[in-house]
Amino acid sequence: MRLRDVPRNLALLLCVFTASFAGPADAHNSRAPLNTSGLPIANLTHGQLHVMDRYRNAIVDLAARQVSPDVETRTLYNFVNLQFAYCLWGLVPGALTNEDNPFNGCSHAYLAGSKALLDQLQRSSGDPAKANELASRIQSDMLRENTALQICSNGAAPLNTGEIILPEWAGVPFNPLKTLLIFIGICILTGLLLAGFRKSNKEAA
C-alpha cells in the first residue's frame, strides 16, 4: 500500500469506528438480543437493580477466587467486567435511579450478569457455601423491598453474553469517547499527511 493511500484508508476506518459510537446503541434494552450465541441472562426489575448493586463487588470477588472455574463461570465473569467498564464503572449519576438515563440499559446488563454469575457459582462451585449465603441475603433484601413490583422498561427483555449493551450515547450531551476518538484520529491523520508530504518533497528533490 502506498504511503499517500494510508491517510485516506485510515480516515475511512476512523469514520466507520466512530459511527459505531455516534448512533443509538439500544441502551434502553426493550428488545431481545440480536446476538444469542452466548449465555442467556434473565433481566432485572428496577427494584432488583438496586439490590444487586449492593452485592456486585462481593459476587465478582467470589468468582475471581474460584480455583478452577468452568466455562460458563468464566464467560459470565468476563461479561460482567466488560459490561461494567463499558458502563463507565457505574459512576454516572442517575444510571440506576432513572430509567431514561442513557446508562440505565447498560447498568441492567452488568447487574443482571452479576445475578447470573452468582447463580452459576451456586451450581458449579466446589464450595458453594459462600455463594449460597450471598444468594440468601440478596433474596431476603428483594423480598423485604418488594423489588418485583418495581418495573422498568429496560428490564423487559432478556440479555445475552454474546451482546454488549452500550450506553445510549445519542442521549449524552457531551460524548467524551467520541470526542477522544476524533481527536486521536485527527492527530494520526495529521502525522501521516506530514510524513507523506515530506517524502514527496524528498522524492521530488
Tell me the mean pLDDT in the region 128-147: 92
Tell me the mean pLDDT in the region 126-145: 93
Are both 197 and 151 inside the same structural domain? no
- Cross-strand pairs, 159: 41
Are both 4 and 67 inside the same structural domain? no
Q: In total, how many domains does the chain have?
A: 2
Are both 127 and 103 inside the same structural domain? yes
Q: What is the pTM of this model?
A: 0.69
Does the pLDDT of residue 103 top 80, yes or no?
yes
The pLDDT value recorded for residue 98 is 86
Are both 75 and 18 inside the same structural domain? no
Cell of 44: 432485572
Tell me the mean pLDDT in the region 139-168: 80
Tell me the mean pLDDT in the region 103-126: 94
Cell of 186: 485527527
Are both 78 and 17 inside the same structural domain? no
Are both 87 and 109 inside the same structural domain? yes
Question: How far apart are the C-alpha atoms of 205 and 193, rounded to whole Å?
Answer: 18
Are both 16 and 30 inside the same structural domain? no
Question: How far apart are the C-alpha atoms of 138 and 127, rounded to whole Å?
Answer: 19
State what percent of residues in the chain have pLDDT above 90.
40
Are both 18 and 110 inside the same structural domain? no
Does the pLDDT of residue 75 top 50, yes or no?
yes
CB 136: neighbour CB atoms within 10 A?
10
State what percent of residues in the chain have pLDDT above 70.
65
Q: What is the pLDDT of residues 163-194, one digit of tens each?
A: 999 988 776 655 555 556 556 766 776 777 67
The pLDDT value recorded for residue 171 is 60
- Residue 10: pLDDT band (50, 70, 90) is very low
Are both 99 and 15 inside the same structural domain? no
Cell of 24: 443509538
Lowest mean pLDDT among 96-105, 108-117, 121-130: 96-105
Q: Which long-range contacts (CB under 8 A, 24 or more apart) does 83-90 make?
A: 83/109, 83/110, 83/113, 83/164, 83/165, 84/56, 84/110, 86/164, 86/165, 86/166, 86/167, 87/167, 88/167, 90/53
Does the pLDDT of residue 45 top 90, yes or no?
no
Tell me the mean pLDDT in the region 95-104: 87
Does the pLDDT of residue 34 top 50, yes or no?
yes
Does the pLDDT of residue 51 top 90, yes or no?
yes
- Residue 77: pLDDT band (50, 70, 90) is very high
> Residue 83 belongs to what domain range?
26-166
Are both 68 and 84 inside the same structural domain? yes
Are both 191 and 203 inside the same structural domain? yes
Are both 143 and 189 inside the same structural domain? no
Does the pLDDT of residue 131 top 70, yes or no?
yes
Question: How far apart are the C-alpha atoms of 161 and 124, rounded to whole Å?
Answer: 18
Tell me the mean pLDDT in the region 1-27: 43
89 backbone φψ class: left, alpha, beta (φ>0; ψ -120 to 50): left
